[in-house]
Amino acid sequence: MGDDPKTLVSTQWLADHLKNPDLRVLDASWYLPDMNRNARAEYDASHIPGARFFDINEISDARSALPHMAPPVEKFMSRMRAMGVGDGHQVVVYDGSGLFSAARVWWLFRLMGKTDVAVLDGGYPKWVAEGRSVEDLPPVLKERHITVQRQAQLVRDVTQVAAASKLGDHTMLDARGPARFKGSAPEPREGLRAGHIPGSKNIYYRDVLTMDHTMKSEQQLRDLFHDAGIDLTKPVITTCGSGVTAAILNLALERIGNRNHALYDGSWAEWGQFDQLAVEKG
């Protein structure tokens, strides 16, 4: 499949298009507390030329007690307008891990009806390793009009996921590590039970990536899903700890031509806290 400005582009593709006035590059780095990294400070120190910082925690639903839930349409529009990201732009999102949180922002743009958005394969580490140019200057921002049409079919809430779990009419994929999925390792967020949503299958997000944090080829992805016994004839719901790494599975599904997938935004941060919701272990 190679470079696809609607899913994934290479560092070479980005370097070739970097001077395009209709390109917008977003640094969507985000880290778990135990990673001990400050995404904003790293961006301020060094980023791909012209990149804007997309703050996943801030561009979210402030009304929700859950971490970084998808923002209301109005908030997304106002933040993008202020960042100079609008209609007619090709967006490329990257992160400082290689391919981690950038997929979440790719999914968020698609949720808002914007499809001209791709993740940078291998992210900032690959870009730097190849000796490509970086800068520490803030970008010059000019407001840009953006129209948004929320695609409700791309997101699921706890009620819909509970129904899907009960009926077995969806394939539910959990992107967390195998130990957390099985319930043999504690959750990083306090107060959450261990285990997984009944009926869900485990595809660890790292398993769709190569050693250098680029995404595996389409054939390797198909083999991975097939070998894990994943039924892709049913609609897919992805889930993880808090809706970030789940999006990597959505991106992988999109790469192999599967369009029938949604993301459970609340994920385990929500499901794991309610005793009335069943939990499976093992």
Looking at residue 103, its pLDDT comes to 98
One fold for 8-150 and 153-271: yes
**CA 181 to chain CA mean position, Å:** 19
> pLDDT band at residue 165, thresholds of 50, 70 and 90?
very high
Sheet of 23-27, strand order:
8-9, 117-120, 90-94, 23-27, 52-53
Three-state DSSP string of the chain? CCCECCCEECHHHHHHHCCCCCEEEEECCCCCHHHCCCHHHHHHHCECCCCEECCCCCCCCCCCCCCCCCCCHHHHHHHHHHCCCCCCCEEEEECCCCCCCHHHHHHHHHHCCCCCEEEECCHHHHHHHCCCCCECCCCCCCCCCCCCCCCHHHEECHHHHHHHHHHCCCEEEECCCHHHHHCCCCCCCCCCCCCECCCCEECCHHHHECCCCCECCHHHHHHHHHHCCCCCCCCEEEECCCCCCHHHHHHHHHHCCCCCEEEECCHHHHHCCCCCCCCECC
- Tell me how crowded residue 125 is: count the other CB atoms within 10 A of its CB: 16
Count CB-CB contacts under 10 A for residue 165.
20
User: Residue 80: which pLDDT band, with cuts at 50, 70 and 90?
Assistant: very high
Candidate CATH numbers 3.90.930.12, 3.10.580.10, 3.40.190.10, 3.40.250.10; the one for domain 153-271: 3.40.250.10
Write down the pLDDT at residue 73: 98
What is the average pLDDT across 237-254?
Answer: 98
Lowest mean pLDDT among 149-163, 171-185, 186-200, 247-261: 186-200
Tell whether the model's pLDDT for residue 1 goes beyond 80.
no
Query: Which one of 3.30.565.10, 3.40.250.10, 3.40.50.10490, 2.60.40.720 gives the CATH number of domain 8-150?
Result: 3.40.250.10
pLDDT, tens only, 122-146: 999 999 999 999 999 999 999 999 9
Q: Which of 37-41, 168-172, 187-191, 231-235 shows the lowest mean pLDDT across its residues?
A: 187-191
Give the number of other CB atoms < 10 A from CB of residue 18: 16
Determine the pLDDT at residue 147.
97
- Asked whether residue 32 carries a pLDDT value surpassing 90, the answer given is no
CA-to-CA separations, 257 to 1, 151, 190, 261, in angstroms, rounded: 10, 18, 37, 11
pLDDT for res 34: 83
Where does the pLDDT of residue 189 fall: very low under 50, low under 70, confident under 90, or very high at 90 and above?
A: confident
For 49, the token pair is 């030329």
| Domain ranges within the chain, ordered by starting residue | 8-150, 153-271
- The letter for the amino acid at 115 is T
Q: What is the pTM of this model?
A: 0.98
- Indicate whether 240 pLDDT > 90: yes
The residues annotated as belonging to the active site are 240
d(CA 5, CA 74): 25
**Tens-digit pLDDT profile for residues 84-100:** 999 999 999 999 999 99
Among 269, 52, 217, 202, residue whose Cα is nearest residue 142? 52
- pLDDT of res. 81: 98
